[in-house]
Structure 1
Amino acid sequence: MYEEDHHRDLLISSRLLDNLTNPALLFFLLGIFASQVKSDLKIPDNSSKFISIYLLLSIGFKGGQELAHSALDGEIIWSMLLGIFLALIVPLYTFFILKTKLSIDNAGAIAAAYGSVSAVTFVTAISFLDFEQVSYNGHMIAVMALMEAPAIIVGVLLINLCAKEKYTNASMPSIIKHSLNNASVLLILGSMVIGFLASEEQAEGIRPFTTDIFKGFLAVFLLDMGITAGAQIKSLFKNGVFVVVFSTVIPFINGLLALYFASLLTNSAGNMLLFALLGASASYIAVPAAMKNAVPSANPGLYLPMALGITFPINVIIGIPFYYMIITHFVI
């Protein structure tokens, strides 16, 4: 018994060390360090936008290829339903927690952010799975895309239902359209359809672009995200302890909830990890863009630093190896 426990502890320590020495993560930490020492290191905005487009395109295309070789079964359908369920339920209970300390409009915007997902966190988790040589299914790309919009809609509905006066200046059809027409959602769904339609020979022809250079671009993008996240951290602490504690603790509650439900419908360690990260992540791209239009009274200086300055680094540095450890040692 002692030898088994000792062997398990060694495996856990080894996996944690592997994640901490992952080049992509180290570049992210370098970005945070550069921000804290006031370095002038910066990725040009146009380059950053191009890399984010590339990452979503690559992930969507590879997911479509995976789907093309997968039969539509119960697990795929239930996975998509679970993703939608999480995107609906998370903003509901987080909203009522948040509104005990914050205004209705800020509570709704933050709840929407934490009910929605971070594509970059998802991409980083995929990179981790590739590093660990753990497989996952292409339908998880579709699950991620499906989780973007519902939380935004729920957040705006909660604001309208709970506020004494209308805070929103956009109709629900326009909110839904804006959510579904979001660039990241459109790109990843479109790329997935293209990947689904492409033959193996056609996919192999662009493999050097979609696969071979992926990790290098991810490293540069995470360097940029580290610089941005590092700059956001200081401003967040000005808003009090509650928002810091919330953005630290709630990702683990959401992630473990998602992991529990995922364990009921799949035996794939890769799929479980991606579900956990989808539940734990918070949107700092789609939601801010939607809330700027729908709820301009919500403070972006609050929900954006929470998602990007605290939740994103925690998920990337601690969350990914933490959930993977639980999956490999306690679930499977």
Structure 2
Amino acid sequence: MDGVLGLAGANLVSPIILSFVLGLVAALARSDLNFPEAVAKGLSLYLLFAIGFKGGASVAAHGVDVRLVAALLSGIVLSLVLPFIAFVLIRSLATVSVVDAAAVAGHYGSISIVTFVAASSLLTGLGITAEGYMVAVAAAMEAPAILSALWLAAYRSSTADGFGTDLWREILLNGSIVLLLGAFAIGWITGQDGLAEIESFIVAPFKGVLCLFLLDMGLVAGRGLRGSQGLLSPGVVAFGILMPLLGAGAGLAAGLLLGLSLGGVVLLMVLGASASYIAVPAAMRVALPEANPALSLTLSLGVTFPFNLTLGIPLYLMMASAVVVTE
């Protein structure tokens, strides 16, 4: 447990998370620190491209086989379905608009790369191995949740036919989806050679750009909190803890069906339990600008993220260890 707490502490004081805290504090203190809209959108586009490209390259490096395809399909299904569970849960526990609930649901169907890396580090420290292609599964789970969130926002906000051609065209051709999936396809086609060509652009600067993005997200969230009294109601906080447990349960069931190793099952549970604060906020900023980012970002970064790092990951490992048969 000391190791888990040390890992949690190290991640919570990382430059990435502290950048978000800086933006949040600056906004709450009414600082005039601000990102021009064009710069903020540029950061979002960069992150979407880099995440998609690296995910496609990781699939190309592994090669396509039955186990990979099954794991990818399971991850995609989880990412598509979990937003619907999240949407119903948050609407049941708190008074939240359809658009805000859809945006939150998208965050909880997608994944947190930092939480995934933290869990991977913990497993490595404990000598527990996991399937290498779980990184590709993580990448594949970024975009489907955005589709579900956009569908929920469009369908539940209107009386039009939810399965109409115009609606699906709007969703599938949304700029964020096109960029993320297009970059994934480019990374898959060009593989490691393509990644090597632009590595200096999408690998080395990634964390620095991510710090700037989360600084801006902290500013956005802080301004939203200033104007949203009582945003984190007991029901909203309860959602931020209950939804990861439901997501982890779904990940556990999927991992057992796939026959993954103990490490693979734990990582799939973590993917199901985590909430995005990179890809989905970037997509929601473009696709659902009317949604309140303070709600979804405060939930994902302020409630679910620390819960997963301090209590969730060891809990998921304990649950998986109790049911996964190891040789």
Give TM class, smaller chain.
Answer: 0.7 to 0.9
* Cα contact 1:121–1:312 (8 A) shared by 2: no
Q: Does 1:323 align with 2:312?
A: yes
Q: In percent, how many aligned pairs have the same letter?
A: 22
Task: Give deviations 1:210-252, integer Å, cap 9, x for gaps.
Answer: 1111111111111111111122224333568366345534433
Once the two structures are TM-superposed, the CA of residue 67 in structure 1 deviates from its matched residue by 0.8
Alignment of structure 1 residues 98-177 onto 2, 5 Å: 98=91, 102=95, 106=97, 108-117=98-107, 122-125=112-115, 128=118, 136-154=134-152, 156-157=154-155, 166=159, 172-177=164-169
* Cα contact 2:109–2:145 (8 A) shared by 1: no
Partner of 2:76: 83
Partner of 1:218: 210
Q: Residues 120 and 139 of structure 1: is their aligned pair in 2 closer, same or farther, counting only changes over 3 Å? A: closer
Partner of 1:297: none
Q: TM-score, structure 1 length as denominator? A: 0.75
* Cα contact 1:51–1:217 (8 A) shared by 2: yes
* Cα contact 2:221–2:294 (8 A) shared by 1: yes
| Rounded Cα–Cα distance in structure 1 between residues aligned with 2:277 and 2:27 | 25
| Rounded Cα–Cα distance in structure 2 between residues aligned with 1:45 and 1:219 | 17
Q: Does 1:193 align with 2:191?
A: no
| Rounded Cα–Cα distance in structure 2 between residues aligned with 1:39 and 1:124 | 28
Once the two structures are TM-superposed, the CA of residue 184 in structure 1 deviates from its matched residue by 1.9
Greater displacement, 31-40 / 81-90: 81-90
Greater displacement, 187-196 / 267-276: 267-276
| Rounded Cα–Cα distance in structure 2 between residues aligned with 1:209 and 1:64 | 16
* Cα contact 1:259–1:273 (8 A) shared by 2: yes
Greater displacement, 214-223 / 84-93: 84-93
Greater displacement, 223-232 / 136-145: 136-145
Partner of 2:297: 308
1:32 partner amino acid: L
Structure 2 gaps of 5+ residues are: 125-131, 322-327
Once the two structures are TM-superposed, the CA of residue 147 in structure 1 deviates from its matched residue by 2.5
Q: TM-score, structure 2 length as denominator? A: 0.76
SS at match of 1:176: helix
Structure 1 gaps of 5+ residues are: 1-8, 161-165, 293-299
Q: Residues 198 and 222 of structure 1: is their aligned pair in 2 closer, same or farther, counting only changes over 3 Å? A: same
2:177 partner amino acid: V
2:312 partner amino acid: Y
Q: How many residues align?
A: 307
| Rounded Cα–Cα distance in structure 2 between residues aligned with 1:29 and 1:21 | 10
